[in-house]
Amino acid sequence: MRAATTLALIFGFLAAGAAPLAAEPYVAYVYPAGARAGESCTVTIAGQDLKGASALLVSGGGVSASLVGYVGPGGPLSKLQEEELKERLSALLRKGSAREAPAAAAASPSPGVLPDLPEFRDLEKRSKEELTALFEKYLARENRPKPPMNETATFRLDISPTAPKGARELRLVAGAALSNPLVFEVGGLPEFREPERFSPGTPDFAGGPARPLVPPFARNGQLFPGEVDSFFVRLEAGQNLVFEASARSLLPYLADAVPGWIQPVLELADEAGRELARADDEGRNPDPTLRFTAPRGGVYRLSIRDALYRGRHDFVYRVVATSAPVGAAPADGPAPAGMRAGTAAASVGPVAAPAPGAPSAWSGRLGEASEVGSFVAAPGRVDLRRFEAKAGEIAVAEIRARREGSPLDAVLGLYDASGRLLAMNDDSEDREDALATHHADPYLRYAVEADGTYTLAVADAQGRGGPEYRYDLRLGPPRPDFGVLSDRSAINLPAGGSAVFQVLALRKDGWQGDIEIVLVDPPPGFSLEGGLIPAGRESVRMTLSHSGKPSDAPLPIRLEARARIGESLVVHPVRPCDKRMQAFAYYHYVPAAGFYAGFLGGRGKAGQAAVEPASALRLKAGGSGRIGLSLPAAKAATKTAGGLSAAAGAYSIKAELVDPPPGIRLSDARFEDGRLSLLVSADAAAAGCDDNLILRLSLVPSAASSTPSLKPIDLGLAPAIRISVAAP
């Protein structure tokens, strides 16, 4: 089954105006990942397709950025410069006898061959260790970062003293295209960073034995394979310190590493090297917090490493050291609503059947005595909730515990009056909780078969309990609702073209209706096509298109999801997210602070097509139908009795469906009445299809062309075309 059809539509003037479409910029890490308000610093952004980087977009205000320089995939030196540096360093490293000294002296550089960098000055005065470090930094290809982090753009950041402190969203702007976001911290503490890797002649630095750091401070670094980063801190006797590491919170997911994030470990030792304290995870957070009270005044060594001794350029971390009150206990995360200190767990007792539309909610602590009833739940026991229900009702029970910082790994069980287990749930995935990889909160939905008294049991999967095992329970009829997530927070489209993106519907309490996606108050020239998530569907691709003059900078956009539930129109914002892979296999929708449209270089001529039918192509399985695309440039093509004239140029248009729904294919293409006409066929497997077709157009060298050097030219995507296929 073929999804592509090439048309004998030939016109060279179209090729002349179709520049190749640029790639979207992608950023892998920013280093350092934080800076102090009121100061300036230089940061390196690493990624791919960063050429043309011009600015940074930093959320929250108070931060301005200016480009310092760009280094491409080949490294900072040209081939000629690499050869020159290699000859000079090799000669200087061989120097050691009077016979070899003249050869080294003769290795002086040709004027202007090497760039005028401080590291390349006075090479003859460098030590062997310094020369080796230069060789490793500039010439050892195995030390260079690999794609997708083999390009760097360096920026100077100027941060206002009044800039709000906290985590920001940092994006790179290349032309008018916008990258994915990274986390950047604006802090209020003195900032330090580890010595540059392969830096020759590194003097003692702040954090070294002679100049230990004095809390409070923030220190930035990168971990490389097998590496343990150590630095020294000076503490006073009895001083209470909290050392917080940030790594996973900076880069939530690594696509090609197991377990899929950086797993830092903090270790504190005295001057003799004796380990005094260690911290791995902080509860369920992979970023550790080490709490320490200094037994005496002096210098201590703090080390950070990956638990598996992995590392590479994007293993970026920050360690923040602050004072803590004497006797401070480890935090267990924020208490959810209704789980404040002193709240007693309700226990066994009759609970009135929830009235439709009025679900009941309780807060409890598994294993804590109750203020009411006769049942006392000890650690490892079960909390029970009894309620009345009638046949035909739907009972929904949901626990919020782990999502709110509780250690409870809850299990829900539903029993009838005789004690027979009717339904049970342990874990239920909440895709809106994107940073969780163990979704430990249960959800249970049950169709009641007979009038009677029912009991809901809440237990911990490991049989644990205690005052900290808090939970919120929702019990009652369904509350139909939904949420919608996007798979990217920056949609970059070619000038005058279209870009495809995907949305994910989160249907709640069994609701399965249509969801309409709307572009709200769009910037001039923008439109949304295919904005419908059909009933029962989880995800759909759609297109954002633009016509007219493109903006010279990314623009904020807003999408809304609308649905009619019962008699009410329910409206939710589409939440901007970036779909990220974890450990080669798992995908997560990581929320972003902003939603943007950017512009790529080149023009997406396919996006200028006027599509017919404008509403939807409706077919029956086994049948076919035509869609028409009016391309402005195609209207000038010469029509002949045999089809299209091949004498006008050297290119043909190729039409191709991108990941079409099962059973859908292009079976014919022709030029009719000034428009491109494509025949879409649906076989038996397509019955019930309700989706969007994504069509890509490109120019390919014609078989009649006499110019062998011609290359295909991507015209981009056409606006999404809705298709529905009924049973025959």
Query: pTM of the entire structure?
Result: 0.87
Q: Hey, where are the domains in the chain?
A: 4-18+604-726, 79-143, 211-331, 350-479, 482-601
In the predicted model, is pLDDT for residue 202 greater than 60?
A: no
Residue with tokens 């402005």: 632
Of 205, 253, 261, the closest CA to residue 231 belongs to 205
How far is residue 49's CA from residue 73's CA, in Å, rounded to a whole number? Answer: 9
699-722 pLDDT per residue, tens = 777 766 666 677 888 889 999 999
Task: Report CA 536 to chain centroid distance, whole Å.
Answer: 26
Domains 211-331 and 350-479 in one fold: yes
In the predicted model, is pLDDT for residue 573 greater than 50?
A: yes
State which fold the 482-601 domain adopts: Immunoglobulin-like (2.60.40)
In the predicted model, is pLDDT for residue 676 greater than 90?
A: no
User: Across residues 515-530, what is the average pLDDT?
Assistant: 97
User: Across residues 270-281, what is the average pLDDT?
Assistant: 95
Q: CATH assignment of 4-18+604-726, given 2.60.40, 2.30.40, 2.50.20, 1.10.357?
A: 2.60.40
- Helix, strand and coil percent figures for the chain, each rounded to 5: 10, 45, 45
In the predicted model, is pLDDT for residue 559 greater than 70?
A: yes
Radius of gyration of the chain (CA): 32
What is the band of 525 on the pLDDT scale with cuts at 50, 70, 90? very high
Query: What is the predicted pLDDT for the residue at 705?
Result: 61
Query: What is the predicted pLDDT for the residue at 360?
Result: 66
211-331 maps to CATH 3.30.1330.10:
no
DSSP 99: T
In the predicted model, is pLDDT for residue 300 greater than 90?
A: yes
Q: How many CB atoms are closer than 10 A to CB 249? A: 20
Query: What is the predicted pLDDT for the residue at 672?
Result: 64
Question: What is the rounded average pLDDT for all residues in the chain?
Answer: 85
Of 75, 219, 63, 73, the closest CA to residue 156 belongs to 63
Q: Which two tokens stand for residue 695?
A: 């069509």
How far is residue 136's CA from residue 133's CA, in Å, rounded to a whole number? Answer: 5
328-374 pLDDT per residue, tens = 444 333 332 222 222 222 333 333 334 334 456 778 887 654 333 33
CA distances from 564 to 432, 465, 516, 572 (A): 22, 42, 9, 12
In the three-class reduction of DSSP (H, G, I as helix; E, B as strand; rest coil), residue 21 is classed as coil
Query: What is the predicted pLDDT for the residue at 641?
Result: 28
In the three-class reduction of DSSP (H, G, I as helix; E, B as strand; rest coil), residue 102 is classed as helix
- For residues 177 and 23, the answer to whether their CB atoms sit within 8 Å is no
Q: Which of 27-36, 55-64, 70-79, 101-110 has the lowest mean pLDDT?
A: 101-110
8-59 pLDDT per residue, tens = 444 433 444 455 677 899 999 999 999 999 999 999 999 999 999 999 999 9
User: Across residues 584-603, what is the average pLDDT?
Assistant: 94
Query: 597: Cβ–Cβ under 8 A, 6 or more apart, which residues?
Result: 490, 491, 492, 493, 523, 526, 544, 546, 554, 555, 557
- Residues 398, 404, 406: CA angle, nearest 5 degrees: 95
Q: Which amino acid is at 297?
A: G
State which fold the 350-479 domain adopts: Jelly Rolls (2.60.120)
